[in-house]
């Protein structure tokens, strides 16, 4: 099946590190793609491949039957969806809006309610897998929203990721992604501390990584970020500034629920300090700088 012929025009807003690859997969599958990004230059590769530029989110909404978004922060999501030139006010009835940004669960619920009032279905569908997962279409997609809407867009989601899991109603996808970030926060901090300890004790830290990866200490963070830490390779696959945003959202949600998460609090404090001392644009493995 050619997804473009089945769905009509597809919109994609946010063509940064992750979004550019994701939108490219839709183009490769034959979708008729409309795109918008605050910086047009970041969409030029997609335009050369046949995507059509729109000047505003409203223009994307007016032209498309399904719109995907992956932007930076909750304030960006709110503007793109609920602003005067946003998607909800201008999307045609019967369309589906899919936000893949890691954002606020409460905002996802507000968007879904506002969209439903206009006869539009909205899903919160944040992703995990980083820039590599986006390039290789191996993302895990965590979805909140109506089952019928998920079923409608599932063939498109399978072009972007290998695992698509609906966790519940609107907001559930965001809660699931925040839980994922809490797990990562502890794991990556553990890798940093293990390597700092190994180096201080005079061990060959690279040999240690290889030795312990096949045991209970093995993890994606150990295997992927550990070697980058030792090489002082802090290029971003996922920005520190975005991880701070995600952990802040998780901490705020936990506090509202009366839940104490000390490991999350410690990781957030360390990452916030890193961001505040010039590390905001580093990859998350840049936390290792705090231990050197």
Instruction: Give how many domains the chain has, as a whole number.
Output: 2
Mean pLDDT of the chain: 95
Are 230 and 206 contacting, i.e. CB atoms less than 8 angstroms apart? yes
238 in the same domain as 113: no
Domain that holds residue 268: 176-291
Residue 166 sits at φ, ψ, to 5 deg, of: -85, 125
- Per-residue pLDDT of 99-135, as tens digits, reads 999 999 999 999 999 999 999 999 999 999 988 899 9
Closest C-alpha among 57, 82, 177, 56 to residue 124: 177
159 in the same domain as 191: no
Closest C-alpha among 24, 43, 231, 247 to residue 136: 24
Report whether pLDDT(1) > 50.
no
pLDDT reported for residue 130: 86
- Per-residue pLDDT of 236-278, as tens digits, reads 988 999 999 999 999 999 999 999 999 999 999 999 999 999 9
161 in the same domain as 181: no
Report whether pLDDT(2) > 70.
no
- CA distance readout (Å), 7 to 31, 80, 172, 187, 272: 8, 22, 25, 40, 42
Domain boundary among 169, 202, 220: 169
- Can you give the CATH number for the domain in which 282 is found? 1.10.1040.10
252 in the same domain as 155: no
190 in the same domain as 155: no
> In the structure, what pLDDT confidence band is assigned to residue 48 with cuts at 50, 70 and 90?
very high
Residue 177 falls in the annotated catalytic set = yes
> In the structure, what pLDDT confidence band is assigned to residue 3 with cuts at 50, 70 and 90?
low
What's the token pair of residue 32? 């008729």
192 in the same domain as 123: no
Give pTM, 2 decimals: 0.93
Query: CA-based Rg of the chain, rounded to a whole angstrom?
Result: 20
7 in the same domain as 120: yes
Domain boundary among 120, 141, 169: 169
Catalytic residue among 42, 75, 163, 177: 177
pLDDT reported for residue 131: 87
156 in the same domain as 46: yes
Domain boundary among 169, 199, 219: 169
27 in the same domain as 110: yes
| Bridge-based pairing state of the strands 32-36 and 9-13 | parallel
pLDDT: is 28 or 1 the higher one?
28
30: left (phi over 0), alpha (psi -120 to 50) or beta: left
């Amino acid at each position: 099946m050619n997804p473009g012929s089945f769905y009509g025009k597809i919109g994609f807003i946010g063509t940064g590190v992750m979004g550019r690859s994701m939108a490219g997969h839709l183009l490769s599958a034959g979708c008729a793609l409309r795109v918008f990004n605050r910086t047009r230059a970041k969409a030029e590769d997609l335009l050369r491949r046949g995507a059509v530029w729109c000047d505003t989110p409203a223009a994307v909404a007016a032209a498309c039957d399904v719109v995907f978004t992956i932007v930076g922060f909750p304030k960006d999501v709110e503007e793109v969806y609920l602003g005067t030139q946003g998607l909800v006010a201008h999307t045609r009835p019967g369309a589906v809006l899919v936000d893949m940004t890691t954002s606020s669960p409460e905002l996802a619920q507000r968007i879904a309610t506002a969209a439903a009032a206009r006869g539009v279905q909205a899903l919160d569908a944040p992703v995990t897998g980083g820039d590599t997962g986006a390039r290789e279409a191996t993302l895990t997609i965590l979805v909140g929203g109506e089952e019928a809407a998920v079923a409608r867009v599932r063939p498109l989601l399978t072009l972007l990721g290998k695992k698509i899991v609906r966790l519940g109603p609107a907001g559930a996808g965001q809660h699931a992604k925040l839980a994922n970030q809490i797990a990562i926060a502890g794991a990556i901090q553990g890798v940093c501390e293990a390597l700092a300890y190994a180096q201080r004790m005079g061990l060959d830290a690279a040999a240690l990584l290889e030795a312990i990866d096949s045991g209970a200490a093995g993890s994606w963070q150990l295997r992927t970020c550990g070697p980058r830490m030792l090489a002082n390779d802090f290029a971003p696959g996922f920005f520190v500034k975005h991880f701070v945003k995600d952990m802040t959202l998780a901490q705020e949600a936990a506090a509202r629920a009366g839940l104490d998460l000390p490991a999350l609090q410690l990781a957030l404090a360390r990452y916030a300090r890193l961001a505040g001392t010039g590390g905001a644009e580093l990859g998350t493995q840049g936390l290792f700088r705090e231990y050197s």
